[in-house]
């Protein structure tokens, strides 16, 4: 018996688990079923404040409103400030809001190439990185957050979580089988591939604006 075989035999004897392949296979199976959490930073302070700061760091802009009915006015303020068209495409969950009172034209559908502004909800958000989490679905068109130059996302304050691990835990408990696309959006699209010059809107929206809703 070689030295290597002797060592492995002693390990098997001590563990009483048989072959090394069985140990490895069992460990992998345990990890897949238990969804262990890796060490995470100890984040202190107000979760929303941290999310706002990280959004700013990622070049997103942010507004806060009291209730969902205030969203059209917040959108109008933003579009006016940025001198953008007063029209958008949105997810169906927003189609019954009072858009006409804010002089905004809207269509409830997925975005196409000519659409300038897309409005979506958010499954949740991550304060640690200023990240929006979007799940695709029949009424949650992925193109609405990807094709327009401006993406406006609505997130409820109670869905702002501390870490990415908390977001995954929430998805496992509420959603189960994940949809075709899970999008993690941390600010507008950007690249510095050419001469190390930062360019926005290279592979997605040029702007990302977040509206936090209290209730």
Tell me the domains of the chain and their CATH numbers: 3-34 (no CATH), 47-213 (3.40.50.10420)
CA 195/CA 29 separation, integer angstroms: 46
pTM attached to this predicted model: 0.81
- Beta strands 124-126 and 160-161 are parallel
Q: How confident is the model at residue 51 (pLDDT cuts 50, 70, 90)?
A: very high
pLDDT at 199 over 70: yes
Instruction: Give me the chain's average pLDDT, please.
Output: 89
- Please give the average per-residue pLDDT across 121-134, as a whole number: 98
Residue whose pair of structure tokens reads 């262990």 in the numeric block: 36
Least confident of 40-49, 100-109, 178-187, 205-214: 40-49
**CA gyration radius for the chain?**
23
Catalogue the long-range contacts made by 80-89 (C-beta closer than 8 Å, 24 or more residues apart).
82/150, 82/207, 84/116, 84/117, 84/150, 85/116, 85/117, 87/116, 87/117, 88/115, 88/116, 88/117, 88/118, 88/119, 88/148, 88/152, 89/115, 89/117, 89/118, 89/119, 89/144, 89/148
pLDDT at 163 over 70: yes
**With contact defined as beta carbons under 8 Å apart, do 120 and 91 qualify?**
yes
Q: 200 has which bridge partners?
A: 190
Which pLDDT tens digit goes with each residue over 97-122?
A: 999 999 999 999 999 989 999 999 99
Share of the chain above pLDDT 70, in %: 87
- Please give the average per-residue pLDDT across 189-198, as a whole number: 80
Q: How confident is the model at residue 65 (pLDDT cuts 50, 70, 90)?
A: very high
- Please give the average per-residue pLDDT across 54-63, as a whole number: 97
Q: For the stretch 195-205, what's the b/e string if a residue is b when 16 or more beta carbons lie within 10 angstroms of its beta carbon?
A: eeeeebeeebb
- Please give the average per-residue pLDDT across 176-197, as a whole number: 88
């Amino acid at each position: 018996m070689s030295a290597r075989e002797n060592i492995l035999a002693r390990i098997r004897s001590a563990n009483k688990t048989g072959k090394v392949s069985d140990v490895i296979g069992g460990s992998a199976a345990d990890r897949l079923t238990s969804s262990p959490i890796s060490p995470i930073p100890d984040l202190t302070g107000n979760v929303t404040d941290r999310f706002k700061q990280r959004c700013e760091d990622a070049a997103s802009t942010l507004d806060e409103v009291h209730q969902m009915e205030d969203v059209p006015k917040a959108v109008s303020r933003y579009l006016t400030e940025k001198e953008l068209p007063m029209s958008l495409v949105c997810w169906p969950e927003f189609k019954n809001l009072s858009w006409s009172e804010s002089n905004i034209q809207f269509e409830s559908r997925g975005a196409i190439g000519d659409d300038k502004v897309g409005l979506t909800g958010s499954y949740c958000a991550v304060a640690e990185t200023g990240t929006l989490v979007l799940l695709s679905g029949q009424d949650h068109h992925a193109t609405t957050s990807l094709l327009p130059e401006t993406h406006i996302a609505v997130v409820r304050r109670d869905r702002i979580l501390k870490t990415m691990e908390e977001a995954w835990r929430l998805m496992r408990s509420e959603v189960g089988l994940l949809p075709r696309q899970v999008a993690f959006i941390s600010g507008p699209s950007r690249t510095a591939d050419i001469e190390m010059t930062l360019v926005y809107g290279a592979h997605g929206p040029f702007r990302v604006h977040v509206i936090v809703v209290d209730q």
